[in-house]
Structure 1
Amino acid sequence: MEFYTVIEERRSVRSFRVDPIPEDVLLRILEAARKAPSANNFQPWKFIVVKDEERKRKIADFCMGQNFIAEAPVVIVACGLPTPSRIGGYTTSMLVDVAIAVEHLILAATNEGLGTCWIGAFDNTKLKRLLGIPDEIQVVAVIPVGYPLRKGWKTPRKELEEIVCFEKYED
């Protein structure tokens, strides 16, 4: 798929077919996440790939009961690793870096004909306990991945004039 077509086609998908994701396809989308840029090249991420049905059901429960998550053949939990602070730097770079990697993964999944949904509402403590995630590691996102049962709907976007300023901030 052409790059801008991938961006245009990406949707939040909340219903999935039962078809498994071929391992080579799964590895390609994970490879896309691995190649994401990060501050100081720290690459402060770890991705947990979950296929076990019972574990996916628990993840869905811990994501405020969003049961469609468990219907996906794969759920990927994106974690952020602690990074050293730099003088003059900012403390949110890990979150930004993981977000960039997740977006790479999501766009790669779209290119492969897969659907995803970025989940940010979850019980961090329960997820960490379920998946054996150490205290110092932060769960950043839960991403169900699978072939869409239905194409997600296109949501409205603001016009460029509403979101872009040139040279200085303007209302």
Structure 2
Amino acid sequence: MNVFEAIGERKSIRKYKDIEVEEEKLEKILESARIAPSAANRQEWKFLVVKNKETRDKLIDAAHGQKFVGQAPITIVACSTESERVMPCGQYAYTVDLSIAVSFMILEATEIGLGTCWLGAYDEGKVKETLGIPSDIRVPAMFTLGYADENPAPRPRKALDDIVCYERYE
């Protein structure tokens, strides 16, 4: 599978098999984050790998009751170790950097046959409390990881003409 195929194959998985993810697969996913680009190559991030069932069950509450968070064998929590830096374009570096790293991890997971779901609905404070994350550390992203026990239909996408313009914004 090439990158473009992985992009097309990726789906949000909310039902997982009760199968442990092999360490070599997890390591490859984590390595894809390690080598991801970041603003000024600062790599101001940490990735928490949550496997413990009791801890994953506590994350269900932090994730607004999404039960699949406890069902997936792994949840990866992306943390920014520096959250004040603003790039010259006006964007906070951590949100961009961690979005790139998580995207790389999710595409690598897809390539090696694993399912993921990028979580956007969670209470950052509860996640921090559950995982012992210091108050000055931000958690801009987290995702579930495991073997899919579903194959959802592809979601509709807008036409390229609806999302692309050339030379000037139209």
Structure 1 residues 68 and 86, CA gap change in structure 2 (3 angstroms)? closer
Please tell me whether residue 36 in structure 1 is matched to residue 31 in structure 2.
no
- State the identity as a percent: 45
Structure 1 residues 71 and 85, CA gap change in structure 2 (3 angstroms)? closer
- TM-score normalised to structure 1 length: 0.94
Mapped partners of 2:152, 2:95: distance in 1: 26
Mapped partners of 2:87, 2:29: distance in 1: 34
Which residue of structure 2 aligns with residue 97 of structure 1? Answer: 97
Structure 1 residues 168 and 55, CA gap change in structure 2 (3 angstroms)? same
- TM-score normalised to structure 2 length: 0.95
Paired residues, number:
170
Q: Name the Cα RMSD after superposition.
A: 1.4
Which residue of structure 1 aligns with residue 136 of structure 2? Answer: 136
Mapped partners of 1:47, 1:15: distance in 2: 23
Q: CA deviation at 1:152?
A: 2.7
Per-residue Cα deviation, 1:112-145 (whole angstroms, up to 9, x for no partner): 1000000011111111011111111101112110
Do the aligned partners of 1:42 and 1:83 also contact (CA within 8 Å) in 2? no
Which residue of structure 2 aligns with residue 108 of structure 1? Answer: 108
Which residue of structure 2 aligns with residue 20 of structure 1? Answer: 20
Moved over 2 A (4+): 83-91
Which residue of structure 2 aligns with residue 145 of structure 1? Answer: 145
Structure 1 residues 119 and 83, CA gap change in structure 2 (3 angstroms)? closer
Note the 1:13-92 alignment, pairs <5 A. Answer: 13-82=13-82, 85=85, 88-92=88-92
Mapped partners of 2:4, 2:28: distance in 1: 19
Show structure 2 runs of 5+ residues with no match: none
